[in-house]
Amino acid sequence: MGSEDRYHKTYPVSWDQLHRDCKALAWQLLPRKWEKIIGIARGGLIPAAIIARELNIRLVDTVCISSYTIRTQGEANILKGINGDGENCLIIDDLVDTGKTARVVRKMLPKAYFATVYAKPEGSPFVDTYITQVSQDTWILFPWDSETAYSTPLVDRKE
């Protein structure tokens, strides 16, 4: 089964929900003082910005990795790395799915603390904390990937 065939459910996330979930994640991260936030581009950029605001962290950097084409996950391709070992740094991503990207970033920044907003069972062991877990066969539809349109009632869907 190809990776594009493994999603049987969709979990749509609104801008409001994403903001609430990022703020909840920031509450969990509040007790510790961080030198900087490292957002994993592209999905982690918006959560990283929200969390940077909530924790009053002004030093924000990025790690740029490409591993998805639409719903197909391929090999992790590092487009931009980062120097250092990640000590006192907070890595933020929107989601940990299989853990493929997380493993690459963990190897790059072994001393950093890794937090995601959403996690799936296969990927959750690779992060230190997250807010919401969804099933492995669920595609999370983020607000930056969607538009408002008619929604077919569940009873009429052929999923």
For residue 54, which of 69, 72, 34 has the smallest C-alpha distance?
34
Catalytic residue among 5, 97, 128, 137: 97
Cα angle for residues 119, 73, 42 (degrees, 5° grid):
65
What torsion, rounded to 10 degrees, do the Cα atoms 44, 45, 50, 54 define? 80
Catalytic residue among 5, 61, 85, 94: 94
Cα angle for residues 90, 70, 117 (degrees, 5° grid):
25
Is 5 among the catalytic positions?
A: no
How far is CA 116 from each of CA 51, 60, 81, 84, 92, rounded to the nearest angstrom?
11, 16, 19, 21, 6
Contact status, residue 87 vs residue 112, Cβ threshold 8 Å: yes
- Cα 143 to Cα 22: distance, rounded to the nearest angstrom: 14
Catalytic residue among 5, 61, 93, 156: 93
Structure tokens at 94: 């929107």
Catalytically active residues are 93-94, 97
